[in-house]
């Protein structure tokens, strides 16, 4: 779900990725407790991120907030390309700016994220 924020869209969290990782970690407990610990901790980290981070697609840029406070700002004019990795179940957003590249876990509804990227960032989707 999304909610209007001034002239943009705020993406609601999706807990699919962290919960999916947690489910994948269950059999690892019997196979390798160390790997289970690492995957479980990473899953918990993503769960906390999904609960606290929000993406806001505004008219002039992508805003990332944590508990209502802006932590990053990415103006669309600096974007060169973007892509959602692994189309069957998108788990990672890649986008390239003029000066750097970014990888963001998909902790939001992938369909709404793709729609917002297409709407606000245009046809910069890389193949």
CA 73 to the chain's CA centroid:
14
Q: How far is CA 46 from CA 10, 42, 50, 76, 77, in A?
A: 19, 6, 6, 26, 29
Percent of the chain at pLDDT above 70? 92
> Residue 3's pLDDT is what?
46
**Residue spans per domain, the chain:** 2-121
pLDDT in tens, 84-110: 998 778 899 999 999 999 999 999 999
Beta pairing partners, 79: 97
The pTM of the full predicted model, rounded to 2 decimals, is 0.83
Q: Angle, nearest 10°, between helix axes 16-25 and 33-52?
A: 170
Query: How far apart (Å, rounded) are the C-alpha atoms in residues 5 and 81?
Result: 25
Domain at 2-121, CATH from 1.10.10.10, 3.40.50.720, 2.30.29.30, 1.20.120.80: 2.30.29.30
Mean pLDDT of 102-126: 89
**pLDDT band for position 31 (50/70/90)?**
very high
Burial class (CB in 10 A: 0-12, 13-18, 19+), 44: middle
Helix, strand, coil share (%) of the chain residues, nearest 5: 40, 35, 25
Mean pLDDT of 17-43: 95
DSSP for 73-104, please give it.
EEEGGGEEEEEEESTTS--EEEEEESS-EEEE
Q: How far is CA 93 from CA 13, 30, 34, 96, 120, in A?
A: 15, 32, 28, 10, 15
> Residue 14's pLDDT is what?
93
């Amino acid at each position: 779900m999304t909610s209007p924020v001034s002239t943009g869209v705020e993406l609601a969290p999706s807990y699919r990725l962290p919960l999916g990782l947690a489910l994948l970690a269950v059999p690892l407990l019997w196979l390798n407790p160390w790997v289970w610990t690492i995957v479980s901790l990473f899953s918990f980290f993503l769960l906390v991120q999904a609960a606290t981070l929000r993406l806001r697609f505004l008219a002039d840029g992508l805003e990332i907030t944590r508990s209502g406070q802006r932590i990053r700002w990415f103006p669309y004019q600096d974007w060169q390309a973007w892509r959602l990795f692994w189309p069957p179940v998108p788990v990672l957003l890649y986008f390239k700016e003029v000066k750097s590249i970014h990888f963001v876990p998909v902790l939001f509804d992938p369909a709404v994220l793709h729609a917002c990227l297409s709407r606000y960032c245009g046809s910069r989707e890389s193949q």
